[in-house]
Amino acid sequence: MSTFAPVDPGFEERVRESFSRLTLMRTIGARLVKVAPGEVDIDMPVRDDLTQQHGYVAAGIVTAIVDTACGYAAMSLMPAGANVLTVEYKVNFMSPARGERLLAHGRVIKPGRALTVCAGEVYALGDAAPKAVAAMLGTMVAVRDTAEAPEARA
């Protein structure tokens, strides 16, 4: 459970609206299933077209959903008008990504005005108990929403 208080009371709507514009997430069938202060879960069905030559979900797809979950977890604690970009991350792959669905859980470890440190996990879900697939540690940077920046309108 989250212990952070959002500075923007409209954080959930802002996160959900931003996620709805992510073409990559739509393309891979990912859904935003939980938005809480400092925490985001993304669910994705496993499909053959997302797998690599051994039949496991490709590492790039696994990384995309956990990076996105961590980014939105960070954004949930930022003020209105702020957006987020990934500065860096490291992902450990612990077991093959296979099952019916993948669930990425991103959470804030340490929020900051400029930089926010996040952690994330990806679990494979299916008939058996959830299995840990990947763990991520990342840093996100707050950026001003370019849609509001005067230079973006030039």
DSSP state of 56: S
In angstroms, the CA 108 to CA 130 distance is: 22
What's the pTM?
A: 0.91
Q: Is residue 16 pLDDT above 90, yes or no?
A: yes
Q: Is residue 151 pLDDT above 50, yes or no?
A: no
Residues in the chain: 154
CA dist list (Å): 81 to 37, 75, 85, 118: 16, 10, 14, 20
How far does the chain reach from its first CA to its final CA, in angstroms?
A: 43
Q: Is residue 125 pLDDT above 80, yes or no?
A: yes
125-143 average pLDDT score: 95
In 21-37, which positions are buried (b, 16+ CB within 10 angstroms) versus exposed (e)? eeeebeebebebeebbb
Q: Is residue 146 pLDDT above 80, yes or no?
A: no
Ordered domains of the chain (ranges, CATH): 11-153 (3.10.129.10)
Q: Is residue 150 pLDDT above 70, yes or no?
A: no
3-state secondary structure of 71: helix
In angstroms, the CA 51 to CA 49 distance is: 6
